Amino acid sequence: MTELDPRVMLGSQYYVNTEDTPEQIKAGIHAMGKAGLKLVRIFLQWTHVEPRQDRWIWDQYDALFDTAAKEGIGVIVTLTAIHPPGWMKISFGPQDIGPLDDKAFWDHAANYIRQVADRYGKHPAMHSWILNNEPQLFLERDDAVLKRYQLFIDQKYNGDIEQLNRRSFQQLDSFDEVTFSAGEGGFSAYTGRLNWLNFMVFRLMEVLTRIKEIIIAAGDTHPMHVNPHGLVSDMYSQGQSIWAEGRLVDFLGCSAHPSWHSTRFLPDRLHQSVALFADLMRGATRAPNNYFWVTELQGGTNIYSGITYLGPSGEDLRSWVWESIAAGAKGTVFWCFNTRVFGYEAGEWGLVDQQGRPSRRLKEISEIAAFLNKHEELFKISTPARASAAILFSEASWMLGNVEGQTQDPEAPRNVLMATDAFTGAWMACVDAGISVDVIDEVDLQNGAAKGYPLLIVPGCTALEEDSLPALQKYVKAGGTLFADGLCGYKTPDGWLRDVAANPLNALFGASVADIQGVPELKTTITTGMLRLPVWFLKVVLEAAKDTSVLATHNEADPRPALTLAKYGQGKAIRLGTAFFQHYFRHPDVTAFTKLLSLLPQPQQAVKLGNPSSHLRLRKLELPDGQLLILLNAGERTTAHLQVDAGQTLTRLTLQGEEQVKKEGNQVRVLLEAQSAEVFKLLSS
């Protein structure tokens, strides 16, 4: 693989319409260069370049590549190898998926990839590959898919049919008898539905791996990535796993369209959704220094497409871009520079206006591009700063929620994304309190990735893998602080209840689950004792061991433990008996979380934001000899109060260069315009 581009760059998708002339495309790419963009992403559509079998037409893409090279713009090629061209007459649209178990289809697909690699792999404008746009599968449950599913189940259960029989209603004699699960209700095909989610991830990874191998076989060494989407929605039923994908490609990016992907968020938190998506990519990428992109960021108005309609302003885009950069993204690429002229998204999403001129949105982006160009060398050597806290992302819990949930409504506690909402709520609570977090998954946890984080939050993780239990014990024993809510580790990934009295986590928390009661829907109660906290959905009564501290009790006639703290080795484990973080997602309670913060380790920081909020945030990028501080304001005009340790100097970065910042004692006040950001360089005197 060629080296990853260390610059922090802005770019955009350029949508090549079927009827575009080479001259129109050249003019469009020139306009991108004039706007200061350094990246152009394209769908190099199979059906465009091979409109008839063995008839290859490259004029449009040749013009794009050649003009990009003249403008100093890198081209990101998105392959469409699993989407059959129209001449095959087996699909009805450019995003329909072909017969993935058909050898003849793959022979044609491999030829398309080789043709593209041979033509553009050595072109000076070639930057990187995207294996497939927003990779996901929609599989027909036919005989070919059934055979693959049977093979997957055979491998999952190590060839032992009795392992499957112990978890299934139907009793089978061989894996050849495995069928698709027909039921969808809670009492029907529970194991089969979980197995299908795992199979979908497995199958998508097979497909992406095959595309990757064809590129490598063609002799190309440009970096490869993918852009998963819908990161807080039902990923697994379509095969998406950001963690599996991150371990396959050279680096990760994501799609971040608030009108598609952020509709579960409260309306005033769209900026946080973009930041969360970026943080997820930083956690799941396996590239050196957590290299990642925001590969597809909403650039314009959508009217008819999207889950909801949205007309973002230039200020919105400015806010979203800086959220991405501040999270550590090395590339932020908009969808889209121009617009489609036909179909579902015709006239939507563009950075240019309806007459093809630079919009106010594009002018805002051009200013940021000029700023990044002015300070290119500083941003080039910047890397994401390690956070003081980590949040556990449990795929087992997310999948279990998919099977056990009953609605998509985030206000309903038993929704299919209950674990997703809990994770997001934990992230939001930390952000509101001015705490930056890193994200790890259960594989990372088991490999010791939590070591060194003073705080590990385990939100809504009802299901945990077996190897995660000793990993949590090891983390706390070594001095970490663990904070978990809900029914942590209550079930196994396949939905089996662990022995409640003998659960290995009981010793860690110094408390076990004594009883579970439900709080009526749409209502909350309050704990009593040292801390008054909202109790929502789950009223988990804890049974504390002798040396465990009970910090809060449930509000009842004979109060029983609701919040416990236990010392374990050199660290401590805190357990809260309710779905606190899932509730926080839709009903943020900053006061309640602030009370909990007194129990948690506080990071030592050379610079601290004294008045953080859901709209005001300080983020940090590491430099070899200091830090870049990015002060983000997603709200109205405000003043940020920075506390700067003695011996530290701050320099403000501007379009003109750098200017020294004066301190009043250890205080710096920064006036921020609405939806803006200020960037500082921090050095030790």
Q: According to the 3-state scheme, what is the secondary structure of 496-549?
A: CECCCCCCCHHHHHCEEEEEEEECCCCCEEECEECCCCEEECEEEEEEECCCCE
Radius of gyration of the chain (CA): 26
Question: What architecture does CATH give domain 607-684?
Answer: Sandwich (2.60)
φ/ψ bin of 522: left (φ > 0), alpha (ψ from -120 to 50), beta (otherwise): left
Question: What's 482's DSSP letter?
Answer: E
DSSP codes joined into one string, 1-65: -PPPP-S-EEEEE----TT--HHHHHHHHHHHHHTT--EEEEEE-HHHH-SBTTB---HHHHHHH
Q: Quick check: 156 pLDDT over 70?
A: yes
Within 10 angstroms of residue 665's Cβ, the number of other Cβ atoms is: 8
User: pLDDT digits over 566-582, tens only?
Assistant: 999 999 999 999 999 99
φ/ψ bin of 347: left (φ > 0), alpha (ψ from -120 to 50), beta (otherwise): left
- At residue 188 the predicted structure's pLDDT band, cuts being 50, 70 and 90, is low
Q: Quick check: 187 pLDDT over 70?
A: no
State residue 182's pLDDT score: 61
Question: What's 251's DSSP letter?
Answer: E
How far is C-alpha 675 from the chain's CA centre?
23
- Residue 125, amino acid: A
Q: Cβ distance 625 to 468 under 8 Å?
A: no
% of the chain surpassing 70 pLDDT: 99
State residue 20's pLDDT score: 96
- Residue 179, amino acid: T
Q: Which CATH superfamily is domain 9-137+207-382 in?
A: Glycosidases (3.20.20.80)
Half-sphere exposure of 650 (CA within 13 A, CB side): 24
State residue 104's pLDDT score: 97
Sign for the CA dihedral angle at 411, 417, 420, 422 comes to positive
Q: Which residues, in sequence order, are bridge partners of residue 440? A: 392
Q: Whole-angstrom Cα distance, residue 553 to residue 560?
A: 5
User: pLDDT digits over 411-433, tens only?
Assistant: 999 999 999 999 999 999 999 99
pTM metric for this prediction: 0.97
Q: Which two tokens stand for residue 523?
A: 């209502």
| Nearest partner of 651 among 660, 664, 641, 643, judged by Cα | 660
Q: Quick check: 372 pLDDT over 70?
A: yes
- At residue 684 the predicted structure's pLDDT band, cuts being 50, 70 and 90, is confident
Quote the Cα angle for 608-612-617, to 5°.
80
Listed in sequence order, the residues at least 6 apart from 333 whose beta carbon sits closer than 8 Å to its beta carbon are 10, 11, 12, 13, 39, 41, 76, 253, 293, 294, 295, 296, 297
- Judged on CB neighbours under 10 Å (0-12, 13-18, 19+), 585 is buried
CATH for 389-597, options being 3.40.50.450, 3.30.420.590, 3.40.50.880, 3.30.2230.10: 3.40.50.880
Q: Quick check: 382 pLDDT over 70?
A: yes
User: pLDDT digits over 283-328, tens only?
Assistant: 999 999 999 999 999 999 999 999 999 999 999 999 999 999 999 9
Within 10 angstroms of residue 320's Cβ, the number of other Cβ atoms is: 27
State residue 183's pLDDT score: 61
Q: Quick check: 530 pLDDT over 90?
A: no
User: pLDDT digits over 424-464, tens only?
Assistant: 999 999 999 999 999 999 999 999 999 999 999 999 999 99
Domain range summary for the chain, segments of one domain joined by +: 9-137+207-382, 389-597, 607-684
Mean pLDDT confidence for 328-353: 96
Helix (H, G, I), strand (E, B) or coil at 598: coil
The four Cα atoms 265, 271, 277, 278 give a dihedral, to 10 degrees, of -170
